[in-house]
Structure 1
Amino acid sequence: MTKQRLVILGGGESGVGTALLAREKGYDVFVSDKGKIKEKYKQVLIHNEIEWEDQTHTESKILNADIVMKSPGIPDKVALISQIKTKGITVVSEIEFASKFTEATIIGITGSNGKTTTASLTHHVLKQELSVGLAGNIGDSFAKQVLEEGFGNYVLEISSFQLDDIIDFKPKIAVITNITPDHLDRYDYKFEKYINSKFRIAMNQTKEDYLIYDADDDVIVDHLKNNPVQSTLLPFSLERPIENGAYLDKNNIRLTINNNQIIMPTTKLALEGKHNIKNAMAASTVAHLLKIRKQTIRESLENFQGVEHRLEQVLKINKVQYINDSKATNVNATYYALESMDTPTVWIVGGVDKGNNYEELFSFVNEKVKAIICLGVDNDKLMNTFGNMVDVIIETQFMNEAVKIAYKLAEPGDNVLLSPACASFDLFENYEDRGRQFKEAVRNL
């Protein structure tokens, strides 16, 4: 019997993880990356005798595949992907491929914002009592963990791009944190397409499976009305009582599943801000479903350390707090950041604009922002949008310069907030690189 040929496009974390799992499962594996494969990944491929190429795609070695696993960063519009699909070759994402080789309970978490925090928080609660891995957009590759760790449960942070390439993937518990316009450049600038993409997380679910979602999010609620899903619904809300699910009752989260209730005071939550009450509701609903003890859930929500580059308090210098929110790559994420500022703020913003509409930030900028530093290659849109709203607006293309300017502008009691609302690829490798450079520049002050 001839081996099935799996071609992997993209030699990053998910690509190399998938290559290792596929080789172990008897596939003929080939990894192809149009860019340069990082040295550490090259060494893994060489060590495991997996055939690879970088800085090119050799079509003859790709179009003979039985199945193609593509990195979520590669858009469908690329000519090579069209050719692959025209030949009738199945294209899948890492989560689709790897989930076929595990019997574990899968918790899939998606949304425009809050998914990293919710996934990390959920994992933090579950690991107190269960064998559980954290993967997807975060940590080690899911495929690699299926191969090496064999956890009984997986919390997966899943992007819309990964969901675009699923066929049978079905999480036992799905979470949609919220849906706001993001990545519209990948969806023909049609918000509806992006919404449909997020809801693919529930497309294979049955009534034995669960969908946890934000009932205050009109986009989600309207979509569910017009496109009912099979899943058992467990909503959460800050605004109204919920019979089956979670809601905010004065300063307590009340969570009920099949008449079994847990009450948690929000005053003790480790993470501040309204959006984090929602993240806590989602995480505790998952934990409650998986029979984690109530006391464990409460304690875990109180001692969670937070996620790097997400409203991360870096240092206080001369009574000025420096905050790293580099992970805010869209307007909605920055909305939450500005909402949680309670003193005058010097705001560092900018990068690759994905078709942003900044209007929802206006009230916060008028109320809380004293100066704006635009950090990007092209800052025209920001300068035009906010130029008349603040007394000081300055542009730069260097992080250390941005931080030095902020240092001069901030007075005791102020905040300096890096919350870019944009992707980072114009000046940085990724949002982590941007966040680390910010922290380094702050420490060098």
Structure 2
Amino acid sequence: MKEDKNKLQSMAFVPSDEEYRKGLRLVILGGGESGVGTALLGKAKGFELFVSDKGEIKKKYKDVLLNNEIEFEEKQHTESKILNADIVMKSPGIPDTVPIVKQIRQAGIKVMSEIEFASGFTEATLVAITGSNGKTTTAMLTHHLLKKDLNVGLAGNIGDSFAKQVLVENHDYYVLEVSSFQLDDIDRFKPSIAVLTNITPDHLERYNYKFENYIASKFRIVENQTAEDVFIYDADDAVISNWLQNHSIQSKPLPFSLTKVIEEGAYLSNDKIIITIDNNQIIMPTENLALEGKHNIKNAMAASTVAHLLRIRKQTIRESLENFQGVEHRLEHVLKINKVHYINDSKATNVNATYFALESMDAPTVWIVGGVDKGNDYKELFPFVNEKVKAIICLGVDNSKLFEAFGNMVDVIIETQYMSEAVKIAYKVAEAGDNVLLSPACASFDLFENYEDRGRQFKNAVRNL
């Protein structure tokens, strides 16, 4: 068995042979959605299990672990119970700089992400979607386009964990929203269809503040693809195009573009999306798209290309594009009060996401911005701020960088550390016909639990006006 364990540590996936797995110890770092889902799958597949979380495990996850008799600890990492692992599944939120992770790697223990682990136990066709922005919308839209005709799950950074779905639901297809953090810990994860929406600087604190490290992480989505697989990407994105000029990929490229004519892939012409794959062409009008904005035309192109590849009927694609409900906290229209539109874009946790939000504003805008700055460069927002923003409300613990960047561009710039106060200020400043936009361009962890909490507080404050 020791020989088998050593062999496993050098392998990049979990063998499907049940006899091979007996006695192997799987340690899971993080007792959240991905961790508990992996624990359930791991138990079903015969692993010896231990879950360890440095923080407090939420009651709903703790109850699952208790009910399934899975050993766990919280508020600590016990080295003796972790460093005897054969495999460690590390939740994506845990950086490699954490001392216990350093010790695990120094001990030569195999570290993998949930998507790597779960993909070893399914024969399903995998559609993996990543990108700095748009991946949630594109993943949800892709799932929406496929679900009428196919047995398809939606997982990854969204919904129930991939591992849990592999165990309980066993879909024929999975649409996976995949982050760079999840891609960092793969070796053999291989989607049949990979989608890259865009690459802009984000999460650089996890990549030694080197953009090239973050770019390389995103492109790991194609590293195991073969000529039988497909890579769908934004041909208008200079970062993606530059990388592809200097690196070769094995999969079939299917680019999409708003500005270029694409022979094999998707492009926009006269307000119609034209998708061509192997001389099979479909044309989709954009006039009735449920989602607004140029960036959402790109998201629709990517999702429709996947659907066309998987032979979804044109009528189904068209109807699904028109009735898609959108993503909570992404340019979500909340209410109209005294002819002022209140818009929740809390999911905009980087500058590029806020760029798309400001670009789509068609009226004078009171902009609520701020949070944990991730090394942001706000210069690309200057034209929109000059043109569209009438007042800025800074919502963060430290707003100095925002004042430095925008203080001379608007007549009104105010700071607060309370969402309710930010919304009340916006209510006083806004006039009929204006927009009030929460699009923070920053992470949320200084004042809120996460971006969802921030967005829900915004919506509640608006409803209480």
Q: Which residue is equivalent to 1:93?
A: 113
**1: CA distance, partners of 2:98 / 2:57:** 19
- Is 1:132–2:152 an aligned residue pair? yes
**2: CA distance, partners of 1:214 / 1:136:** 21
> Which residue among 411, 432, 439 is the counterpart of 2:459?
439
Q: Which residue is equivalent to 1:390?
A: 410
How far has the Cα of 1:86 moved from its partner?
1.1
How far has the Cα of 1:407 moved from its partner?
0.1
Q: Secondary structure at the match of 1:363?
A: helix
**2: CA distance, partners of 1:322 / 1:206:** 46
Q: Secondary structure at the match of 1:298?
A: helix
> Which residue among 250, 265, 273 is the counterpart of 1:253?
273
How far has the Cα of 1:107 moved from its partner?
0.2
> Which residue among 60, 82, 86 is the counterpart of 1:62?
82
**1: CA distance, partners of 2:333 / 2:127:** 29
Q: Which residue is equivalent to 1:347?
A: 367
> Which residue among 163, 166, 178 is the counterpart of 2:183?
163
Q: Which residue is equivalent to 1:14?
A: 34
Over residues 1-54 of structure 1, what are the superposed CA-to-partner deviations in whole Å (9 max), with x where a residue is unaligned? Answer: 651100000000000000000000000010000000001100000000000000
Q: Which residue is equivalent to 1:175?
A: 195
Q: Secondary structure at the match of 2:398?
A: coil
- Is 1:366–2:395 an aligned residue pair? no
Q: Which residue is equivalent to 1:280?
A: 300
Q: Which letter maps to 1:233?
A: P
> Which residue among 45, 48, 54 is the counterpart of 2:68?
48
Q: Which letter maps to 1:80?
A: I
Q: Which residue is equivalent to 1:424?
A: 444
How far has the Cα of 1:260 moved from its partner?
0.4
State the TM-score, normalized to the length of structure 2: 0.95
**1: CA distance, partners of 2:405 / 2:221:** 36
Q: Secondary structure at the match of 1:315?
A: strand
Q: Secondary structure at the match of 1:112?
A: coil
Over residues 134-157 of structure 1, what are the superposed CA-to-partner deviations in whole Å (9 max), with x where a residue is unaligned? Answer: 000000000000000000000000
Correspondences of 1:295-374 after superposition (within 5 Å): 295-374=315-394
> Which residue among 76, 79, 82 is the counterpart of 2:102?
82
**2: CA distance, partners of 1:227 / 1:181:** 20
Q: Secondary structure at the match of 2:89?
A: strand
Q: Which residue is equivalent to 2:174?
A: 154
**1: CA distance, partners of 2:37 / 2:175:** 17
Over residues 117-139 of structure 1, what are the superposed CA-to-partner deviations in whole Å (9 max), with x where a residue is unaligned? Answer: 00000000000100000000000
How far has the Cα of 1:100 moved from its partner?
0.3
Q: Secondary structure at the match of 1:268?
A: coil
Q: Which letter maps to 1:390?
A: V
Q: Which letter maps to 1:203?
A: E
**1: CA distance, partners of 2:49 / 2:258:** 48
How far has the Cα of 1:384 moved from its partner?
1.0
> Which residue among 197, 215, 221 is the counterpart of 2:217?
197
- Is 1:222–2:274 an aligned residue pair? no
Q: Which residue is equivalent to 1:185?
A: 205
Q: Secondary structure at the match of 1:85?
A: helix
How far has the Cα of 1:187 moved from its partner?
0.4
How far has the Cα of 1:268 moved from its partner?
1.1
Q: Which letter maps to 1:318?
A: N
Over residues 330-352 of structure 1, what are the superposed CA-to-partner deviations in whole Å (9 max), with x where a residue is unaligned? Answer: 00000000000000000000000
How far has the Cα of 1:81 moved from its partner?
1.0
**2: CA distance, partners of 1:247 / 1:297:** 16
Q: Which residue is equivalent to 2:54?
A: 34
Q: Which letter maps to 1:355?
A: G
Over residues 397-439 of structure 1, what are the superposed CA-to-partner deviations in whole Å (9 max), with x where a residue is unaligned? Answer: 0000000000000000000000000000000000000000000
Q: Which letter maps to 2:291?
A: L
Q: Secondary structure at the match of 1:235?
A: strand
The runs of 5 or more residues in structure 1 that have no matched partner are none
Q: Secondary structure at the match of 1:108?
A: strand
Q: Secondary structure at the match of 1:339?
A: helix
Q: Secondary structure at the match of 1:417?
A: strand
Q: Which letter maps to 2:181?
A: F
Over residues 59-79 of structure 1, what are the superposed CA-to-partner deviations in whole Å (9 max), with x where a residue is unaligned? Answer: 000000000000111111122
Q: Secondary structure at the match of 2:85?
A: coil
> Which residue among 310, 319, 326 is the counterpart of 1:290?
310
Query: Which 4+ stretches in 1 moved above 4 angstroms?
Result: none
Identity of aligned residues (%): 78
The runs of 5 or more residues in structure 2 that have no matched partner are 2-21
**2: CA distance, partners of 1:208 / 1:136:** 23
Over residues 372-418 of structure 1, what are the superposed CA-to-partner deviations in whole Å (9 max), with x where a residue is unaligned? Answer: 00000000000111000000000000000000000000000000000
Q: Which letter maps to 1:245?
A: G
**How many pairs were matched up?**
445
Correspondences of 1:374-413 after superposition (within 5 Å): 374-413=394-433
